[in-house]
Amino acid sequence: MVKNKPAYYKGIVIGGSAGSFSLVTKILSRIKPDFKYPIIICLHRLKHIRSGLLEGLNLKSNLSVVEPYDKLRLEGGKVYLAPSNYHLFIEFDSTVSLSTEEVLNHSRPSIDHTFFSAATSFREKMVGILLTGANKDGARGIKDVHNKNGFTIVQDPKTCDVDMMTKSALQLFNPDKVLSPEEIIDFLNSL
Amino acid sequence: MAIAPTIHDIREITPVLSDKFKIDFSNYAFSFLRRRFAHIFNVLNVKSTKDFIEKIKSGELTEDFSYHFPVPDTEMFRDPSFWRYLRLKILPGLEEDKFSFWFPQLVSCEELFSLLVILKEEGVIDKAKVYCNVSSAKKLEEIKSGITDSKKIELNKQNFKRLELNHHFEDYFINEDGKVFIDKSLMTNVEFLKGNFFNEVPNTTVSFVIFRNRMIYYNAKLQVNAEEILAKYIHKGGYMAIGIKERISQANQSLFDEYEISEKIYKV
């Protein structure tokens, strides 16, 4: 089924694990500075290290990257990074809610949790992107985005440092696109 | 097989819970309610929303709900820098007769045991008084027994190391047949309050409220309400700590001054 492009997107959600930091850095350094939608990023990260990742992303990003506080409202053109040791959820009113609930897929933040909540809140007005990673977290979540008519992109496993996450997703459903990193950047800049 | 509650189910359940527990459950974050009810339906093997509601009304599930609904602490000494700050910067500045602490919503042992270790390490545990609200009778007995969660033991030890204390983990925690217990003498000055802090509070004001990562499950309205209650029970010059990704609501900025913002410690 070909999906109709919505008039606007409520959010772009990106998930990734091992190897995805450099790729996310590359995406944010090449994204157009006037990109108009919120980008929510959930990366697997060490629980006890609060700083470093955010600063690293901000060094090269064309958009401002923040670790959101609980109840923060999403704004277009900003990047929201799931904080260490918290799950990140999206509410119906486009605010962020954080949680210290049990780990999911050995992860907190869990990519599945972020995708599930974004899929429920944004429905067809979102793009979900799953990048390279070393476990299955994110696969069920991006399938849920697909089931709720969001637009889904899975990084081409041939271009992944570790392809377990993307292959797990591709075993569950057929995303709208399977793209290389360069193609993902081009896609985002075309929105 | 247990069912997952729908939005309609949640709207049916929340007024019943509100009536039973005297807290407005519709003021919890919606996505949290959806996940937590699904969790409860799963662990209690709930067959239907109607059945769940009837059992809440009759009181049959009151204790089980109180036990499973709140989110347990993730680990002991979560955010070690917070505990270091408390030990090195806050405790030395407290007046002799003001070593009083309050956990308005204690869901599991980790935050309490972390505080007790820090108080013992600083040699002030004998003059300290610690109040804790615990909603579940079963959870209260677990906490009183001093047992820790064996699944978290390695993480707890790693965090403990990051505190750079003078004593070893084993000086505070005892391994008995594979189960790890806190030295129960540390719990002498802990007073447990039944129920939630919206209905049950200490009979005095305290110096330090520890309420980390609890209001993230509330909506903005309930957060404002909670902050107002808590502020009333802190001495002038006392402190409140919330989670590092929480903020005091806009409405209550005048009640709390930022004190150590990186650890989210506020002064009243």
DSSP, collapsed to helix, strand or coil, labels residue B2 as: coil
The residues facing A79 across adjacent strands are: A39, A65
Spatial CB neighbours of A169, under 8 Å, sequence gap ≥ 6: A130, A138, A139, A142, A143, A154, A175
Residue that terminates a domain, selected from B23, B44, B68: B68
d(CA A157, CA A179): 9
pLDDT bin (cut points 50, 70, 90) of residue B129 is: very high
The pLDDT value given to residue B244: 96
The one-letter amino acid at B172: Y
As a whole-number percent, the residues of chain B with pLDDT over 70 amount to: 99
Q: Are A124 and B64 in contact, with CB atoms under 8 Å apart?
A: no
B73 contacts A100? CB cut-off 8 A:
yes
State residue B2's pLDDT score: 52
Judge: A91–B29 Cβ closer than 8 Å, yes or no.
yes
Query: pLDDT at position A46, please?
Result: 77
Structure confidence at residue A8 (pLDDT)? 92
Q: Is the pLDDT of residue A85 over 70?
A: yes
**In a domain? residue B195:** yes
Tokens (6 digits) for B137: 């009778």
pLDDT at B98: 77
Domains of chain A: 11-189 (3.40.50.180)
pLDDT at B46: 86
Chain B residues 55-74 with a CB less than 8 Å from chain A = 71, 73-74
Q: Are residues B187 and B242 in the same domain?
A: yes
B12 lies in the same domain as B110:
no
- Would the CB atoms of B245 and A86 count as touching at under 8 Å? yes
- Cα–Cα distances in angstroms (integers) from residue B140 to residues A85, A88, B190, B204, B215, in the given order: 26, 30, 12, 22, 21
Residue, of B123 and A49, whose pLDDT is higher: B123
Q: Tell if the CB–CB gap between B216 and A85 is shorter than 8 Å.
A: no
Helices (DSSP H) in A18-172: which residue ranges? 20-30, 53-60, 111-122, 139-147, 164-172
pLDDT value of position A150: 97
Mean pLDDT across chain A: 93
Torsion sign, CA atoms B14, B16, B17, B23:
positive
> Are B150 and B222 contained in the same domain?
yes
- β-pair type (B190-194, B234-241): unpaired
Which amino acid appears at position A129 of this protein? Answer: I
pLDDT tier, B119 (very low <50, low <70, confident <90, very high otherwise): very high
Residue B192 lies in a domain: yes
In a domain, B183, yes or no: yes
* Cα→Cα distances B234→A140, A184, B248, B255, Å: 45, 52, 15, 11
Contact of A94 with chain B, judged by CB distance below 8 Å, is answered with: no
Structural domain contains residue B110: yes
Task: Please tell me whether residues B45 and B155 are part of one structural domain.
Answer: no
Residue among B245, B247, B248, B262 with most chain A CBs within 10 A, to mutate:
B245
Name which of A34-43, A131-140, B18-27, B229-238 the model is least confident about. B18-27
B111 touches chain A (CB under 8 A): no
Q: How far is A82 from chain B (nearest CA, A)?
A: 11
- Chain B: give the shortest CA distance to residue A101, in Å: 6
Q: Where are the beta strands (DSSP E) in chain A?
A: 11-16, 39-43, 64-66, 78-81, 87-90, 96-99, 126-130, 151-155, 177-179
Segment B203-217, tens digit of pLDDT? 889 999 999 999 999
C-alpha of B164 from chain center: 24
Selected residue of A92, A99, A106, A123 to mutate for chain B interface (largest B Cβ count, 10 A): A99
Q: B157 CB near a chain A CB, below 8 Å?
A: no
pLDDT of residue B22: 83
Same domain, B63 and B101: no
What tens digit of pLDDT does each residue of B144-203 get? 999 999 889 999 999 999 999 999 999 999 998 889 999 999 999 999 998 888 888 888
Cα gap B6→A176, rounded to integer Å: 28
Q: Looking at the domain assignment, is residue B74 inside a domain? A: no
Residue B234 dihedral angles phi and psi, to the nearest 5°? -110, 130
Of the candidates B179, B139, B172, the one whose C-alpha atom is nearest the C-alpha of residue B157 is B172
Min mean pLDDT across A100-109, A131-140, B62-71, B95-104 is at B95-104
Check CB contact of B27 with chain A, cutoff 8 Å: no
Q: What is the CATH number of the domain that holds B227?
A: 3.40.50.150
CB atoms within 10 A of CB B258: 12
Q: Where does the pLDDT of residue A166 fall: very low under 50, low under 70, confident under 90, or very high at 90 and above?
A: very high
Residue B213: domain span: 80-267
> Does B107 score more than 80 pLDDT?
yes
Q: Tell me the mean pLDDT in the region A39-60.
A: 87
- Asked whether the beta carbons of A39 and A54 are under 8 A apart, the reply is no
Same domain, B120 and B197: yes
Specify whether B140 is located in the same domain as B97. yes
- Whether residues B13 and B59 share a domain: the answer is yes
In a domain? residue B39: yes
Residues B166, B35, single domain; the answer is no
Residue A145 has pLDDT above 90, yes or no: yes
pLDDT tops 60 at residue B260 = yes
- Compare CB distances from B245 to A48, A69, A108 and report the shortest one's residue: A69
Please indicate if any CB of chain B lies within 8 Å of the CB of A114: no
Confirm whether B165 is domain-assigned. Answer: yes
Q: Summarize pLDDT for B40-99 with one digit per residue, the tens.
A: 999 998 888 999 999 999 999 999 999 999 999 999 999 999 999 999 999 998 887 778
Is the four-CA dihedral B161, B163, B164, B166 of positive or negative sign? negative
What is the pLDDT averaged over residues A79-95? 96
Q: Does the pLDDT of residue B1 top 50, yes or no?
A: no
Residue A2 pLDDT grade (very low, low, confident, very high; cuts 50, 70, 90): low
H/E stretch holding B210 = strand B206-210
Q: Please confirm, yes or no, whether A44 is among the known catalytic residues.
A: yes
Please count the structural domains in chain B.
2
**Residues B89 and B14 both lie in one domain:** no
Residue B91 confidence (pLDDT): 94
Write down the pLDDT at residue A96. Answer: 97
Q: Are residues B137 and B177 in the same domain?
A: yes
Could you tell me what percent of chain B has a pLDDT over 90? Answer: 81
Local structure of residue B109 (DSSP, 8 states): S
Close Cβ partners of B262 (under 8 Å, ≥ 6 residues apart): B81, B244
Q: Are residues B94 and B64 in the same domain?
A: no
In a domain, B73, yes or no: no
Q: What is the mean pLDDT of chain B?
A: 93
Question: Which residues are paired to B95 by β-bridges?
Answer: none
A117 to chain B: which residues are within 8 Å by CB?
31
